[in-house]
Amino acid sequence: MRFLGGSVALVALVACGRAPDQPSAEAGTTPPIEYSDRFSALRSALEREIVAASRASESVSVDPETMDLALAVISDPRSKIGRVARTSLAQVPAKASAAFCELLLDRARPASERAAAAMCLSDFPPTARPLAALGNAIVEDREEEVRSACAFAAGKLGDRRLIPSLLWRLKDEGTDRGAAYLAFGLAKLGCLGGIEALREVVRRETVPDAVALASEILAREGILAAGSEVAALLAALDALGARWRAEGISRSDAGSPTPEARLAFLTSAELLNHPNLRKVDEARYVLSKSGRAALEPLEAALFERDPYTRVRAMEVLGWLGPLAAPLVPRLLELAGDPKHRAEPLRALGRIGDERAAPALALALQSKNAEIRAAAARGLASAPFPGAIPSLMSTVEGIDLRAPATDLDLALGCGEALALVGEVRGARLLVDLYGRESELEPEALDRAVARAFAALKARGAEEGGVASANDAASRKAAARAWAGLKK
């Protein structure tokens, strides 16, 4: 997958020592930021690839004899007639697949028959027609039995084009059993979101099938034998999730994605500018769980003319974290756009790439409070040792006794310093308890928890704050620690 670069406008700002909201002393020194209809161009290119590849194949019609055989299979697959019918259908895979597609999408049929049709589709090559039928049923079918069978078949087929459909349904799945099978299908396709969802179903212990499904995934990965206790399964799923996250969700990223798979992810990204905010929310969820497969359409979103599309794409890139590192140059460029400066800074911080440190540090000098706070929160998202001088300089100018003090800036700077092992940052956070009510609820407690955990990991004395079990005990321990440090 190719990622577009582009000039990094903010690097020039760093070099000349200007904050990003200050006008250039020399007109025309900053190149204009490029925006275009990148979605349309990418869609057209992918559709041309798909059409060119499919010209040789013709639409397959289903004759009555093939349909009768398929009906015999889904009506009683274990009977002698069903087994003979299955053997006959194996000789005409294209017609058989088309027949099972029709049966799966025939909502007038019993759920058990449609579920059987879905399972049968997993025995045939994953061509466009069965994938479309499975994807439609996963998202639209009202019967959990059918959705679960489709999800299981999707995992067996192993085609990543079904990942967006599985994620769309998982977000709003109303049953634990359905969620278990959707998660299983995603995990079989190598999607980290599947591991996370499967762990949650196993934890609730409401679906007996979930243990077997989790055990199968883990056994395939060589982590844990099947039939383990729930506690051991949860620990093993955590280990697998951590491994996939560290590897960049390598299994779902392996190989070159097909044009059809790329088009499926692009379709989700195009919904980022949908007028229905529910659609927008679902699109963000799907993309945030899709790993590197989401980067191509998200990069296209960063070039779109619609500012809301760009902002929502930046939010998803922040959720993807280090996986989004290939798009850091474009985010740095966008941080110089007057239309939205805070959003790319937040995303850059969450990605945690050192290339963003100069831009984030410089933005601390901005005259705009929102930009300063975004830069501070960005620096607090990951350790940025290179930003220590700017953070220290900013902290020196913070007076918590002054009513007009920017508390969000203080919070971000304090946490950012603590993450790189600077005790001064932890002391600033403790001092903020005096104005805790003026901050976002629980924001200070979350910052204190992360800050003192970072100090502990670096071997610094943290007074037991990191091991406190609740906000009240954490606050008491932090204040006691601060008293000893004075």
pLDDT digits (tens, 9 = 90+) for 58-106: 467 788 999 999 999 998 878 888 889 989 998 999 899 999 999 999 9
Domain for residue 281, yes or no? no
- Report residue 60: phi and psi, to 5°: -95, 125
Mean pLDDT of 256-261: 73
What are 160's two structure tokens? 């990543």
From 191, 222, 248, the end of a domain falls on: 248
**pLDDT (tens digit per residue) in 286-318:** 899 888 889 999 999 999 999 999 999 999 999
pLDDT at 480: 92
155: domain range?
125-248
Mean pLDDT of 37-52: 87
pLDDT at 16: 35
Confidence of residue 30 (pLDDT cuts 50, 70, 90): low
Q: In this model, does residue 108 exceed pLDDT 90?
A: yes
Domain for residue 218, yes or no? yes
Confidence of residue 462 (pLDDT cuts 50, 70, 90): confident
- Quote the distance between the C-alpha of residue 16 and its chain's center: 36
Confidence of residue 28 (pLDDT cuts 50, 70, 90): very low
Mean pLDDT of 477-483: 89
From 224, 248, 272, the end of a domain falls on: 248
Provide the sign of the torsion angle of the four alpha carbons 323, 326, 332, 338, taken in this order. negative
Domain for residue 460, yes or no? yes
Confidence of residue 171 (pLDDT cuts 50, 70, 90): confident
Most confident among 102-116, 127-141, 192-206, 214-228 (mean pLDDT): 102-116
Mean pLDDT of 319-343: 90
From 248, 276, 299, the end of a domain falls on: 248
Domain for residue 224, yes or no? yes
Q: Per residue in 108-139, is it b (16+ CB within 10 Å) or e — as a string?
A: ebebebbbbbbbbbbbbebbebbbbbbbebbb
Q: How many CB atoms lie within 10 A of CB 403?
A: 6
462 CB-contact burial (10 Å; exposed 0-12 / middle 13-18 / buried 19+) = buried
Q: How many CB atoms lie within 10 A of CB 15?
A: 10
**pLDDT (tens digit per residue) in 413-459:** 999 999 999 999 999 999 999 998 998 889 999 999 999 999 999 88
Token pair 């994807």 is found at 135
pLDDT at 227: 52
d(CA 477, CA 486): 15
Token pair 């209809």 is found at 37
pLDDT at 31: 65
Q: In this model, does residue 135 exceed pLDDT 60?
A: yes
pLDDT at 445: 93
What are 243's two structure tokens? 């491994």
pLDDT at 13: 35
First and final C-alpha spacing in the chain: 54
Q: In this model, does residue 330 exceed pLDDT 90?
A: yes
Q: In this model, does residue 215 exceed pLDDT 80?
A: yes
Confidence of residue 56 (pLDDT cuts 50, 70, 90): very low
- How many domains does the structure of the chain reveal? 2
Q: In this model, does residue 355 exceed pLDDT 70?
A: yes
CA-wise closest residue to 420 among 461, 387, 468: 387
Please provide the average confidence, as pLDDT, over all residues in the chain. 85
Token pair 């980022």 is found at 272
Domain for residue 485, yes or no? yes
- Write the DSSP assignment of 77-132 as a string of letters: TTSHHHHHHHHHHTTSHHHHHHHHHHHHH-TTS-HHHHHHHHHHHTTS---HHHHH
CA-wise closest residue to 372 among 331, 416, 330: 416
Mean pLDDT of 126-134: 87
pLDDT at 2: 35
Say which residue, 326 or 82, is predicted with more confidence.
326
Domain for residue 385, yes or no? yes
- Give the whole-number percent of the chain exceeding pLDDT 90: 47
pLDDT at 10: 33
pLDDT at 360: 93
pLDDT at 54: 61
Domain for residue 169, yes or no? yes
What are 81's two structure tokens? 């007639």
Domain for residue 333, yes or no? no
pLDDT at 481: 92
